[in-house]
Structure 1
């Protein structure tokens, strides 16, 4: 077992202990200057601190008054008084001037003289527990579309999984997050990673603070993983996303927004203990590092250790993150961050087999098909750098850079083959792998608002670039004589030399070089008071090369591919809007035709119409969408060409598929102290034209029906220290990778009990798979393996300490 990180923890504690924001004495309101504010929607405490820091005003308040409260965006030229009044809109609080000319925040008085706090009563127990300051499942704004916008302003389906929701559900990694949100599936990969699927199509480029980089190019299987300890929220756009990230984006986009240093000191120490000897400790600290609050920092240190419901399996992960943001001027901010995740484990890499007809063998969920020498080491280091400049109230520029290095090194045993009635017929598959990759992403854009021809306009112009290079190695051999009912976990550990000396043993070196660049632009114009037109387009250049030992290099290039975007938004009222959108997508191919030319890219069109609502002063978001995506030019085998393409059939660009369905979602505070998230998806995927699969299901791991529900309620009155949560994930069946058998659907219930021990200490007990449902995860299910069980019933106790400064 690994040693703790005393030095890193000491650094984090030192940062957390940095003195609170040092406000200077305030000016009288009559002498205040008009300042330019550009503050996004955030927690009320954070926004008030930012206004005070920028203006030099003193604001006094009781922390309990703003705990769990959100502030709208504060943008424009105004005095500090006007800015704070705008931040307090809808909060049930008001700004008062003290005798000394400073400010205080107090509850508003109703007509009877009683003090109110919006829809929430303040008592000794305080408000709902918060994280990153919002305390809500409803997002006020989303940044995935370049610049901050409300969800209602985007004419596509969007979801934000807030930090509050992540913490309440105990979600710590991206696969778990997407499997608890609307319309997405995080399928178990061949390897330790996953494939994110939206509306039946993979999302292989993941965004980090809006910068897309490829995450699923591996010579062998799917190894991409991502924990969420560094991130404030997960933003998801469903439907074609070519305008944002270019080639191969028919399903949507996922954006991970990292944590930043806040304007007020913050410190959270979280410990957890759960089933299967699962233990974890995290320190998250940050805040202003100088009296003016122009330099802000953040440090996260996290260690997690666990065994598993599967015999022999264990995992240890430690993560470190540090970030700085510095306001060079009131209009220019530079952000820098670095993160590292280092993991070591004994995994089961490929799951369990079935009988040749696809029927379930009936294994215990503890069954392990690997060896005691199975071992995996992973390491991911990411550097983030961004600069934002605000020219004035209407125009701003942002430049972002990301560099990620990943390394994974494994040795492991799998079992393959057709299982006989007595369990025989299998081979032991011994693998040694070493994968190394570097991803670089850059994104730059300018956005601004102006009036012309008596119309309100907003334009965005930008460009981005990504590069993925890898150096991958694997060696493998197959050894007969395996029996699934008598698995030998103690076979001799192989070396590369052993593998190469075995009959049929092979080793490969391979590498990718994938580069993409693009220029994009969008124009948003308010044609009339209720009607907004959004037009956009992207021009993309794409270069792909894959080389493997002894094989012919695979290359493809796309030059000047244009993908248009069109959307209309009609405001029915201040709360409701209807929309319609159209988007194109392209996806380069590597297959060749009989005349030895690379096939034209796959092209697709996405249509969507929907209804969105922002209700209860933005505390509740709702949406309903109907969508259809058609794709054509897919490679199919040209059986008339003979074996003219490297000894095998060539291809034709004749395949067509379709994905269509309905989505509905609600998130936020439905009733006082009741946070809810619910998302339903009906989605069918189908081959329209294909020589082998016409009429059959296209996406193997997309169920026709998905419903994800979670609620959390803080009890009233004398029981207010308690909160209770619960929900379920249910979905219909999926199919195997070869589409030759069904993987049954399932319903899994989860629950949470929270208790506020004090204003600084929170306890929570999460129970997952409450009724111990036995089920297989959607993924690369096959008769000869890759069938992975979902987690049995398990408990997690969490203790969180958040001192008040």
Structure 2
């Protein structure tokens, strides 16, 4: 671990190495860094070599580094980057780097009193690393390498997101090993892993609900505010209480950099898609103890679907304050306003389950369809570092989410469209969702040695609260229209018009969901290559849903019986083992319990007890080429029981609805394999394969059937980017594909065909300040339906046809 040097300016860029300084010093590495800002190049060299570099930010302002390419030790790469800058490299006794004025430059810097601030040596930050491989993650509390965590972990770095042009969480999820982002009945998404929904999303490690039904189908998330996406697959109850058995995701936001950085990006692409983004950050005072970050993004686009359009305005601001040498306060706010004319519920199918031969441009809505989604998020965290081994952190998130829409949906007045195209009915909808989510997490982590064994403990607790004030109104209208001649010009609706239309109905509703918990974990190394991990969480959960029905015209109101449930002191145990086969390879195994509260009631009126599950996983992980490549192979099984099964035989005698019994059993199992990082000199690669089956083991109506219809049995996601060298050192090229096997429709009577889609990228660094790129998606113009909540009466969406996006990125030098 590093000991801070007090009393002066500095920026520390890089990652603590697992090897000894002498070994790191001697290691020859492969570099492919184009000419660019000196600070970024030094950052990239330090990140790749796992070293620390300290310097005064003023020294590198406005200075350029020449291209660094080839096989060489990190010291030589640093010397090449510093050539002609008037600066020189010094290697410390610990094997780290410092940069100072050359002896004849006439300047002086007292490096002996340079302070390496903890904010600048965070090994998890992926910005400017130039890599698809993450050195460490924070999703499990504290900071650990991927090899140290006995579960499957994927990190999508900032470079990979930028190379693939991924600006929306749904797109990123569908390029990540084992995850599926499906379209719900709203404009947003539902994220699933290993066949189960991930209902809580983490922001800087703080979990908040994002997938409760009213808002879950409308939940959207920009990626432009975030440094990386961390994904844990498998049970996550230790992290977030009633967590999904499928996993957890953690969005880690961008922070102010230690050196000034500005990037201006303009883009233009298919379907009149235009965008402009400004991303700027750096120290705000001379000492660098206050750092800021600002991101502003404007995006507007038409669509391959007739009449569709969207406009999004996004703004993010962050400040980090070093209150003391060992205490940092972070504050941030983000605001996204997304306005669109969407097509909701997509296309129906024939009654046989066969897809209808409609053009991909078919719009089933009306010209007055309109959606407005506004999300405001406040972030705050405080971290205190007692020393190199002990750290305390508290983080909070408050998200205000407002969604309104008026829209037409095409449905069917029977189970699917008739063979001649008849059977079309229209549904007119008004929705107004207003939700507030609050999350708080605090934990203490510490490393120590006792009984001649290295140990680490984590103790913490978290709390979340989700409240809503929602209303929907709708009418269903039969018609004589044909699916091949949809009426996109029907009269516009409002809430008032729907409530004065015979057959209309409104449903006001409110959620109030609160959970809290205490958690702890203990890591111990009884012998050097072996690590044991034990943990547990105690959770409290309170759920309340109230609703009423308002009949149109008469406005007669029916108040439904509230749905409530609570769980007290639910214990979730966790155990894992990691055995290091070598410095690069480790095998692991883990076990954890899962509990998920339910709201259905049984014949006695009592709430059905929670779903109980057991998650098992064994695997092999590798950190190769000095951490430049991460690999993993995992076998997993999750067994779940006590699922509520609806009993239709007794009628609606349980508070006006059907009773349920807790007798269902489900199993999800399979295999995952992944590799990420610089597998060959200049070649960054991400590849992830998943084999996953889900099945009802016990269920009155579904025994033996697939449990998660939209989870493909086979998924393979691949993306690569090659940085040329020599005379072509300014050029890079990317190529990748995603392929998956078929899924099932909701009714189990038809397949949704699998597909393979290819994407590519070509980039040219025209000058040190200006970079050009073009991304081409669906290169071969594959026509396919995206897997999701596909039904006979709707929710079938075509994947995007072939499209291109041109971008220009300007990075001025200071």
Matches within 5 A, 1:585-624: 585-624=594-633
Find the partner of 1:157 among 152, 160, 167. Answer: 152
Find the partner of 1:662 among 671, 675, 691. Answer: 671
Deviation at 1:427, TM superposition (A): 1.1
- Go from structure 1 to structure 2 and tell me whether the alpha carbon gap of 1:35 and 1:478 turns closer, same or farther (over 3 Å shift): closer
- Counterpart in 2 of 1:475? 473
Contact in 2 for aligned 1:67/1:133 (Cα 8 Å) = no
Contact in 2 for aligned 1:200/1:702 (Cα 8 Å) = yes
Contact in 2 for aligned 1:97/1:104 (Cα 8 Å) = no
Contact in 1 for aligned 2:721/2:734 (Cα 8 Å) = yes
Find the partner of 2:641 among 632, 635, 644. Answer: 632
- Counterpart in 2 of 1:448? 446
Under a length normalisation based on structure 1, what TM-score does the superposition of the two structures give?
A: 0.88
* Larger CA deviation: 275-284 vs 423-432: 423-432
- Counterpart in 1 of 2:422? 424
Deviation at 1:57, TM superposition (A): 11
* Larger CA deviation: 528-537 vs 41-50: 41-50
Deviation at 1:642, TM superposition (A): 5.1
- Counterpart in 1 of 2:367? 372
1:328 and 2:323 are equivalent in the alignment = yes
Matches within 5 A, 1:115-134: 132-134=127-129
> For residues 766 and 684 of structure 2, what CA distance do their matches in structure 1 show?
21
- Go from structure 1 to structure 2 and tell me whether the alpha carbon gap of 1:297 and 1:422 turns closer, same or farther (over 3 Å shift): same
- Counterpart in 2 of 1:719? 728
Matches within 5 A, 1:498-513: 498-513=497-512
Contact in 2 for aligned 1:231/1:258 (Cα 8 Å) = yes
Contact in 1 for aligned 2:541/2:567 (Cα 8 Å) = yes
- Counterpart in 1 of 2:358? 363
Q: What's the Cα RMSD here? A: 2.9
> For residues 58 and 784 of structure 1, what CA distance do their matches in structure 2 show?
64
Deviation at 1:59, TM superposition (A): 8.1
- Counterpart in 2 of 1:390? 385
> For residues 464 and 70 of structure 1, what CA distance do their matches in structure 2 show?
45
- Counterpart in 1 of 2:231? 236
Deviation at 1:378, TM superposition (A): 1.0
Number of equivalences: 740
Matches within 5 A, 1:65-104: 86-88=95-97, 98=103
- Counterpart in 2 of 1:282? 277
Contact in 2 for aligned 1:41/1:70 (Cα 8 Å) = no
1:212 and 2:210 are equivalent in the alignment = no
Under a length normalisation based on structure 2, what TM-score does the superposition of the two structures give?
A: 0.87
Deviations 1:293-327 (A, max 9, x none): 11000000000000000000000001000000010
> For residues 37 and 397 of structure 1, what CA distance do their matches in structure 2 show?
22
Contact in 1 for aligned 2:215/2:433 (Cα 8 Å) = no
- Go from structure 1 to structure 2 and tell me whether the alpha carbon gap of 1:670 and 1:650 turns closer, same or farther (over 3 Å shift): same
- Counterpart in 1 of 2:492? 493
Deviation at 1:35, TM superposition (A): 13
Ranges in structure 1 where 5+ consecutive residues have no aligned partner? 1-30, 73-79, 106-129
> For residues 324 and 495 of structure 2, what CA distance do their matches in structure 1 show?
57
- Counterpart in 2 of 1:407? 402
Contact in 1 for aligned 2:12/2:52 (Cα 8 Å) = no
SS of equivalent to 2:499? helix
Contact in 2 for aligned 1:636/1:653 (Cα 8 Å) = yes
- Go from structure 1 to structure 2 and tell me whether the alpha carbon gap of 1:466 and 1:545 turns closer, same or farther (over 3 Å shift): same
- Go from structure 1 to structure 2 and tell me whether the alpha carbon gap of 1:32 and 1:367 turns closer, same or farther (over 3 Å shift): closer
SS of equivalent to 2:162? helix
Contact in 1 for aligned 2:10/2:54 (Cα 8 Å) = no
Deviation at 1:643, TM superposition (A): 4.0
Contact in 1 for aligned 2:13/2:54 (Cα 8 Å) = no
Deviation at 1:651, TM superposition (A): 1.2
> For residues 206 and 735 of structure 1, what CA distance do their matches in structure 2 show?
27
- Go from structure 1 to structure 2 and tell me whether the alpha carbon gap of 1:290 and 1:32 turns closer, same or farther (over 3 Å shift): closer
> For residues 473 and 514 of structure 2, what CA distance do their matches in structure 1 show?
27
Contact in 2 for aligned 1:45/1:67 (Cα 8 Å) = no
SS of equivalent to 2:469? strand
> For residues 58 and 94 of structure 1, what CA distance do their matches in structure 2 show?
9
Contact in 1 for aligned 2:13/2:43 (Cα 8 Å) = no
- Go from structure 1 to structure 2 and tell me whether the alpha carbon gap of 1:71 and 1:746 turns closer, same or farther (over 3 Å shift): farther
Contact in 1 for aligned 2:365/2:407 (Cα 8 Å) = yes
- Go from structure 1 to structure 2 and tell me whether the alpha carbon gap of 1:757 and 1:101 turns closer, same or farther (over 3 Å shift): closer
Find the partner of 1:566 among 575, 580, 583. Answer: 575
Deviations 1:442-496 (A, max 9, x none): 0000000111111111000000000000011110001111321111111111222
SS of equivalent to 1:564? strand
> For residues 809 and 245 of structure 2, what CA distance do their matches in structure 1 show?
40
Deviation at 1:646, TM superposition (A): 2.6
> For residues 721 and 650 of structure 1, what CA distance do their matches in structure 2 show?
66
Deviations 1:538-576 (A, max 9, x none): 000000111111211111101100001101000011111
1:518 and 2:527 are equivalent in the alignment = no
1:651 and 2:625 are equivalent in the alignment = no
- Counterpart in 1 of 2:536? 537
> For residues 367 and 299 of structure 2, what CA distance do their matches in structure 1 show?
21
Deviations 1:762-797 (A, max 9, x none): 111110000000001111100011100100000000
1:166 and 2:161 are equivalent in the alignment = yes
- Counterpart in 2 of 1:582? 591
> For residues 432 and 484 of structure 2, what CA distance do their matches in structure 1 show?
31
Deviation at 1:221, TM superposition (A): 6.7
> For residues 632 and 163 of structure 1, what CA distance do their matches in structure 2 show?
39
- Go from structure 1 to structure 2 and tell me whether the alpha carbon gap of 1:711 and 1:643 turns closer, same or farther (over 3 Å shift): same
> For residues 44 and 435 of structure 1, what CA distance do their matches in structure 2 show?
47
Contact in 2 for aligned 1:52/1:58 (Cα 8 Å) = no
* Larger CA deviation: 695-704 vs 737-746: 737-746
* Larger CA deviation: 497-506 vs 641-650: 641-650
